[in-house]
Amino acid sequence: MRLALVPRELAAETVADLLHHNMIVRNAKISRSEEIVLIPVNEAGEKYCISIGLKVIEGETHGRKDESPHRLIQKALDLPEEKMRLLPHKWELFGDLAIIRLDERLREHEEEIGRAYAKALGVSSVCVDRGGVKGEFRQPTVDLIYGETSESVRLENGILYKMDVCKLMFASGNVDERARMGELDCKGEIIVDMFAGIGYFTLPLAKYTGAEMVYACEKNPVAFKYLQDNIRLNDVTGKVCPVLGDNRSLPLAGIADRVVMGYLKGTRDFLWKGFELVAPGGVIHFHETYNVKEMPHALTRDLTLSSGGREYKVETLREVKSFAPSVSHYVADIKVYD
């Protein structure tokens, strides 16, 4: 049996990724030690793991009981039936931690619930998402209820994303868009990522597309610190220039072959800067939320107001995901001609 050797802090996300692509031998046991997790993989899984830098060895495995994590969680807890029914059936994995939402009626049991979820999901930490964001930088309302740290590393499409989930939000719903950025042909291009965050789009662009340089601008000092960490983790130091500050102050007029505007709810207010940064023949990838009933007219209005009279064409317009009732997250690829 071929076994992928995965660092424990990356195990939960790696398992989810391999399962999604049907690359795990499902009737075999995943073995764990303090530092390494051994994941039984098929031929496709072996090739994928090697391609993202993981070691694969030959080893023995044993059969396992096919028992759901939720069932294991229930068996580990001694709670009244009415509270058992409140336990969440869904969670989000970020590296070696899990994020769950809990009913307020379970608050007094949070530590034991966190311990049960950690054991069943094979993670070291569990956090609770209270819902909502606060402040200019939209800090999530997330608390650590089990484990020693809320910082972890997520593996996604061969990219490592490190951050503290109690301090920053990770847009897990944008996984397809991050993958798409990594599949673009940007050979020799100069790219400006106006809202870089921890490197959501910067990293796949720098690592996979052949870009000459990505200028990654981020205003939040916490996110910027993780952006710098992630540049080193993904070995793209020579291909990314991180810039701390307001993107409206970037002195890069007309330099960009490609501009990425991966922000939401207010990105339209920065469109003029995107048009200022992009060179003739370049492309702007513009993200924004719109009322679905107002599209595409609302997008045309915003582009007309922000283009400064430059000639452009919306080459593609995609709905990324639903954002709220009658509101969706869209991304437009805009070609600028002059």
Tell me the pLDDT tens digit for each residue of 238-250: 999 999 999 999 9
Q: Where in the chain is the domain with CATH 3.30.70.2580?
A: 2-58
pLDDT of res. 126 = 96
CATH level 3 topology of 173-336: Rossmann fold (3.40.50)
**Res 143 pLDDT > 80:** yes
Residue 143 phi/psi, 5-degree rounding, is: -125, 145
Q: How many CB atoms lie within 10 A of CB 169?
A: 17
Taking residues 282-298, what's their average pLDDT? 96
Residues sharing a CB contact under 8 Å with residue 113, sequence separation 6 or more, in sequence order? 73, 77, 87, 102, 106, 126, 145, 146
- CA distances for 273 relative to 247, 261, 282, angstroms: 8, 10, 14
Beta bridge mates, 162: 153
**Res 120 pLDDT > 60:** yes
Task: Read off the tokens for 302.
Answer: 């915003």
Q: Where in the chain is the domain with CATH 3.40.50.150?
A: 173-336
Residue 299 phi/psi, 5-degree rounding, is: -65, -45
Q: Is there a contact between 87 and 110 (Cβ–Cβ < 8 Å)?
A: no
**Res 64 pLDDT > 50:** no
**Res 63 pLDDT > 50:** no
pLDDT of res. 62 = 53
Which of 36-50, 69-83, 94-108, 131-145 is least confident? 131-145
Which of 70-79, 103-112, 184-193, 204-213 is least confident? 70-79
Q: Distance between CA 170 and CA 115 in Å, rounded?
A: 23
**Res 205 pLDDT > 60:** yes
- Superfamily covering domain 69-155: Met-10+ protein-like domains (3.30.300.110)
pTM of the model: 0.83
Task: Read off the tokens for 105.
Answer: 């009626």
| Sheet containing 31-32: order of strands | 31-32, 36-41, 2-7, 55-58
pLDDT of res. 33 = 67
**What rounded mean pLDDT belongs to the chain?**
91
Which of 18-22, 246-250, 322-326 is least confident? 18-22
**Res 21 pLDDT > 90:** no
Q: Is there a contact between 296 and 253 (Cβ–Cβ < 8 Å)?
A: no
Q: Where in the chain is the domain with CATH 3.30.300.110?
A: 69-155
Taking residues 208-229, what's their average pLDDT? 97
Q: Where are the beta strands (DSSP E) in 59-103?
A: 92-94, 97-100
pLDDT of res. 66 = 56
Q: What percent of the chain has pLDDT over 90?
A: 67
Going by pLDDT thresholds of 50, 70 and 90, the confidence category of residue 160 is confident
Q: Distance between CA 94 and CA 287 in Å, rounded?
A: 24
Residue 67 phi/psi, 5-degree rounding, is: -115, 130
CATH level 3 topology of 2-58: Alpha-Beta Plaits (3.30.70)
